[in-house]
Structure formats: C-alpha cells, structure tokens
Amino acid sequence: MSNDVEYLYRQDSDFWYLTGIEEPGAAAIFRPGAPERERYVVFVPLRDPRVESYEGPKVGPREAPAAYGADTAFSSDELLERLAKYDRASRSYSGYLAGVEKLYLSDGGDAEWADRLREALAEMRAREAGPPTVVDAREVIHEMRVVKDADEIALIRRATEISARAHTLAMKAAAPGKYEFEIQQALDSYCYANGARRMAYPSIVASGPNSVFLHWDRNDRRIEEGDVILNDSGAEYGYYATDITRTYPASGRFTPEQRAIYEIVLAAQKAAMAEVKPGVPHARIGSSSARVQVEGLVRLGLLKGDAGELVRNDGHRVFTKHGVSHWVGLDVHDAGRYSVRQGSRVLEPGMVFTIEPGIYIPANAAGVDRRWWNIGIRVEDVVLVTETGFECLSCAGAPRETADVERNVQAGSAR
C-alpha cells in the first residue's frame, strides 16, 4: 500500500470458492481419478514462529487436512516437485501430472509461478510425459459461480441488508456544508460495525458536478445547497458482495429538473425488473430500461427523434454511459458469461445481478439548457431470480421512491 505497509490480504475469488482457504501462498490440486484419500491435496506455507509472533497462528501442512477438509497437505515449496517429479534412475515421472490427459489450470495471477510451471510442462512434454492438453480452469469455475446456492444467497442477502440500512443512514447524514467523505463515513462505518470486513469496492459519494462521474471515489468535495448526491456503496460479507446506489437531494427536496430525471431512471429500473423471471433473456433487462429512459428524455426535450429508432441506435448513450446489469457474487462484477451461442443468456433461479439505469448530464453538455447541468442520477438494486419471478434484495431496505428519499434526508436535517 505504501513503503512497507500492505493491504489486508483478500483471497482470489475462484480459489476461495473451491477451497475456503483464506491464507496467502496456498495451492490446491483436485484429482478426480486418484484413489480415495488422495483426491484433494492442498499446499500451504510452512509455519514460521517469527511471522506468527507478528500475525498470529497460521495453518501449516500438518493442520491443513483437518482445517480445510483436504485428503493430504504439503508445504507450498513442494508444489512443483510433486506435480512434475522426475526420477532420473528410471527416467520417468511419478508426480501428480504423470499420466494426466488434461490439466485444468488457474494460476491466480501469479505470473512467476505460472512461468515455472510452463517450463516444467515443457520438460515433461519433451519426454512425452506431460499432459497434452492444458485448459483455463477459470471458464469452468466461472460457470459454476453464476447460479448461487442457498448458502451463497444467504451471504449476499446479509451483505445487502447491512448495506441498504447503511444507505438509509447516509441519506440522513446528508446536508449542505458537509463533505462527501462524511456521508461515506456514515455508510461505511455502519457496514464495518455490523460484520463487514471490507467494502466490496471503494464507496462513491459524488455530489453536484461529481455526480456525473461513474466512479468518483475521491469523496472530497464540500456539498452545496441544491446539489444532488449519488451514493454507490456496498459491503462485502463472508466474501460475498452487494452493490447499491441511491441518489438524493442534499437539501432534502429535489429541484424540478432533478425530480424529472430521477423519475425517469426509477421508471426505467421498474420496467427492467418487471422482465425478470426464469427463461427471459438477460439482454431484455437492458432493452426495457433503455426504452423507458429514451421515451422520458424525448418527453423532456433532452433527446430528439423517434424513441424506437433512438433505442435501436443506442441514442440513450448520450446521457447513459454504462450497461444496466451485472452479476453479483464473490466479485462485485461477478464472473460468468452474459451471452451464449444462441444469443443472450436466459435467466435461471439462483442468479443474482444488479439493475442500475442512470442518466448523467454534465455541465456544458452540447445543446442542453444549463438548468439540467450537473445532474447525475442512478438507482441500483440487487435482484435474485426465483422460481416464479424475482426478489429485490435491497429495495425494501433502502428508500428509492421520490417522497421516501426526500423524507429520509429531511429526517436527518431535523435532528
């Protein structure tokens, strides 16, 4: 992070999904064709009394099988040798890769280790002993991660409950004269106090002219009378993320222009949510949202032309800079494809994703009256696909109707 200060370690999502191991420096091998008690092998660093005197006790190779449910465990230093062990006397390989036809590999982004493994594989192949096929395991794992099971849904639900309540508190903390970071503090501190080890991403509190920037995270501006505040924040709980955005008036009441844009965005979100049920193409979420946004912007005179043609030609992108939905899970923009060979992926029960339409009108926008300038509006919620439709995990916990939003901001000012 700076000099000799490191960030709190956060395990690679794919590796954690398969193992539940949080410690750095670990590896795992899955051997489906091996004898029982030899199919799941983990490698962890040796215990170091000096390191533990600073950081606390670790799980070493001796403790790893019981701690992680592995069949056996070894030191991380032994990984390459046990994968590609070569006996010079017999001129044969006896490691885990001996006789393997296909290796599914995920290197966790460790380029140095991956280079060493490639060298070992090249030596094996030179002796006609290495796996002839190496496949990127991430594609398989990412497909596994798209549909959540009950335990995963419970963790996302908890992350969302905490974050939604924190958004309500942030609304009440908003007022002209405060700084963006004060609003962030009200939200983040509640999340940390309720079991979140970290936020899922740096919290965005963007007021006035900053509200039109999609990933503003400096959060250092003094909020002024008449500003709109866009707050995009979500906690991580048990490694699972959430992602919620609320937009509200610093003074407790939207201006007519802010209200007009807000109501278009909210209507677009509701139209998109109404599409959610098993069997519906994921792409329909975006097209439904775009149609409502374009119709609204044409009605206000901010876009000109036929609404249908504007949607077909992405005319709404003038004021909308991003897609309106992404998977949520171990990563805030979670793994998994959005399209398949037949086209857009269809929704299934257990899928979790955001619906987040937005409209952003910067100062000096070409051909736009200045009364619309510096208005950035986004409403974002987390949705779970159920057997019969959907459940919005965040809608009830964080106000989004115009009157409710204003009432919450005013309640804070009254104190």
In the annotation, is 356 catalytic? yes
Six-digit token pair at 142? Answer: 């990412």
**Are residues 304 and 295 in contact, defined by beta-carbon separation less than 8 angstroms?**
no
CB 332 within 8 A of CB 320: no
The token pair that represents 202 in the structure block: 């740096």
Distance of CA 292 to the CA centre of its chain: 26
Sign of dihedral through CA atoms 261, 411, 395, 230? positive
143 a catalytic residue:
no
- Could you tell me which of 155, 158, 203 has the C-alpha nearest to residue 182? 203
Task: Answer yes or no: 316 catalytic.
Answer: no
Please pick, among 68, 237, 240, 360, the residue that the annotation labels catalytic.
Answer: 360
* Type of residue found at 199: M
Number of Cβ within 10 Å of residue 403's Cβ equals 8
3-state secondary structure 127-161: CCCCCCEEEEHHHHHHHHHHECCHHHHHHHHHHHH
DSSP-derived letter for residue 411 is: H
b/e map of 328-362 (b: 16 or more CB within 10 Å)? bbbbbebbbebeeeeebbebeebbbbbbbbbbbbb
Which phi and psi (to 5°) does residue 32 adopt? -60, -25
Q: In 3-state terms, what secondary structure has residue 319?
A: coil
Catalytic entry in 215, 299, 312, 407: 215
Strand partners, 222: 179
Our answer to whether residue 295 is catalytic in this structure is: no
Catalytic residue check, 360: yes
* Catalytic residue chosen out of the listed positions 227, 243, 275, 406: 243
Catalytic member of 380, 381, 400, 406: 380
| 373, 361 Cβ separation under 8 angstroms | yes
| Residue 333 falls in the annotated catalytic set | yes
Tokens matching residue 185: 């503090």
- Cβ–Cβ < 8 Å for 45, 76: yes
Q: Which residues are catalytic?
A: 4, 215, 232, 243, 322, 326, 333, 356, 360, 378, 380
